[in-house]
Structure 1
Amino acid sequence: MKPQRKSEFLASAPSFLWLAMFVLVPVLIIFGIAFRPALAGGGIGSGWSLEAIRALADPSYPILLVRTLWVSFITTFACILVALPVAYAMARLTPIWRSRALLLVIVPFWTNFVIRVFAWQQILHAEGYLAQMLRAIGLLGENDRLLGTQAAVVMVSIYTYLPFAILPLFAAAEKFDFGLLDAARDLGSKPLGAFVQVFIPGVRQGIITAVLVVFIPMLGSYVIPDMVGGADSQMIGNKIAQRNFNDRNLPEAAALSGALALLVLAPMFLKRKGAEA
């Protein structure tokens, strides 16, 4: 092995081992459990079985999958839509105000995630101030509710994942050459046109990162739908949690988790295959 290759291997070995131990090995274990039988009293039986794989043909799963993809897409799209102008504005601030704005983005992480979602339960409650105000101005009917709906899941998800979209976009915007926007305006472009045609392509890598860090966690989200959603807003993550904690059917939970992992990885493999072709 050449000295340069050896030094590169030694430098990347700790990261590779960490990923192998805490990412690759658990995923392989999950796929392995999916092909084991489930015990009647809960747990994993001996031998091998395709029972958990066959259970994926349950008619309710496609509905859950479509709902999961739809809620994840809407949440991701809304987060990017809000995060882009926020990242742009933050990057144009002076250094001292930029650090203060960044602190405001990070502040929600100082509070426990479950506590923040529980706070939204109180905000969206049928007798809460928000519901009373919306009823007073006629935007909410007497029998309508905010809590326990798919809209509540999307709203709380946007609040939760918005900082994850702002941070990578801000990192990309901070390196962007804003002189390009001035040049575009000098050439006759309107401010919005310059923003769309120059700034957004200039922070493309930040957008890709923001999409990944919002969309992928949303696919497996179950706490938010469980706490602020209803029966018609449950997602795949809730079904996995139900199979694991309530039913104690670990093989079926593993099969669902494996299917979700393949769903996430499939676009990456297809993109790489297309690039190689």
Structure 2
Amino acid sequence: MKKEQKPELLATAPSLLWLVLFVLVPVVTIFAIAFRPALPAGGIGEGWSLDAVRALGDPSYPALFVRTILISALATLGCLALGLPAAYAMARLSPAWRSRMLLLVIVPFWTNFVIRVFAWQQILHAQGYVASFLRSLHIIGENDRLLGNTGAVVIVSTYTYLPFAILPLFAAAEKFDFGLLDAARDLGAKPLRAFFSVFVPGIRQGIITAFLVVFIPMLGSYVVPDMVGGTGTQMIGNKIAQRNFTDRNLPEAAALSGALALLVLAPMFLRRKEKTA
């Protein structure tokens, strides 16, 4: 090892150690548990077995994976749709007001996650003010419910993950040259067209980051579907929690977790393969 490489190695060693201990080791452990047998009373047995992996062939799992991807995608698109205008507006403010608005974005993190979801449970309750108001406008019927459906899960998930989308979008928008928008309008572009043709491509990296920061955690979400959803809105995270805490079938829970990890990593590997091709 060259002498000039030592400072670089020392600088990267803490990050590398963190990734090995808290990412690589847990992932390897999960995949290892997936190939162990499950004890009848719960727990992990001795030896090796493919029973947990074979269990992934359950006919209900493909629909579960599709539902998870669909709900995650809808919530992510909702966060981007709300986050883009918010980041644009924040970036056009004066530095003092930017700090104040950024503080308002971060404020929800000061409240416990479960408490915030529980608050939405009360807001969307069948006897709540929102449901009563919608019934008074005849938008929903007397027997219609705002909870226990995909819409409730998407709405609450969008609210929950919206700050995670706004922060990288704002970071990219803050560096954007807004003179380009003025130039586009001088050339005859309408404000909306200038926004989508100039501003959105100009913060492309921020949009990609916001998408990943929201979509990947959403794939493993289970608290929101459990509290505001129903039996028809279960996601992979709910099934993993059920196998782990209720059934005590740790190998099958690990197999589902491994399948979820591969689902998350697949697009990354495909993109890398396209670049090297």
Report the TM range for the smaller structure's normalisation.
over 0.9
Q: Provide, for residues 48-96 of structure 1, a one-character-per-residue CA deviation record: whole Å limited to 9, x for no partner.
A: 0000000000011011101000000111111101100110000000111
Q: CA deviation at 1:193?
A: 1.3
Q: Provide, for residues 8-46 of structure 1, a one-character-per-residue CA deviation record: whole Å limited to 9, x for no partner.
A: 122111100101000110000000000000000000000
Specify the code of the residue in structure 1 equivalent to 2:50: L
Specify the code of the residue in structure 2 equivalent to 1:153: V
- Whether 2:177 is the aligned partner of 1:177: answer yes
The residue matched to 1:100 in structure 2 has which SS? helix
1:131 alignment counterpart: 131
1:36 alignment counterpart: 36
Specify the code of the residue in structure 1 equivalent to 2:49: S
Equivalence map 1:71-82=2 (5 Å): 71-82=71-82
Specify the code of the residue in structure 2 equivalent to 1:133: F
How far, CA to CA, are the matches of 1:58 and 1:227 in structure 2?
25
1:240 alignment counterpart: 240
Q: Provide, for residues 127-146 of structure 1, a one-character-per-residue CA deviation record: whole Å limited to 9, x for no partner.
A: 11111111111011011100
1:153 alignment counterpart: 153
TM-score, with normalisation over the residues of structure 2?
0.99
How far, CA to CA, are the matches of 1:144 and 1:43 in structure 2?
42
Q: CA deviation at 1:5?
A: 2.5
RMSD: 0.7
The residue matched to 1:70 in structure 2 has which SS? helix
Equivalence map 1:100-115=2 (5 Å): 100-115=100-115
Structure 1: runs of 5 or more not aligned: none
- Whether 2:2 is the aligned partner of 1:10: answer no
Q: CA deviation at 1:276?
A: 1.0
Equivalence map 1:54-65=2 (5 Å): 54-65=54-65
Q: Provide, for residues 148-198 of structure 1, a one-character-per-residue CA deviation record: whole Å limited to 9, x for no partner.
A: 111100010000011100000000000111111111112222211111111
The percent identity for this pair of structures is: 76
Aligned residues: 277
1:67 alignment counterpart: 67
The residue matched to 1:125 in structure 2 has which SS? coil
TM-score, with normalisation over the residues of structure 1?
0.99
How far, CA to CA, are the matches of 1:189 and 1:147 in structure 2?
43
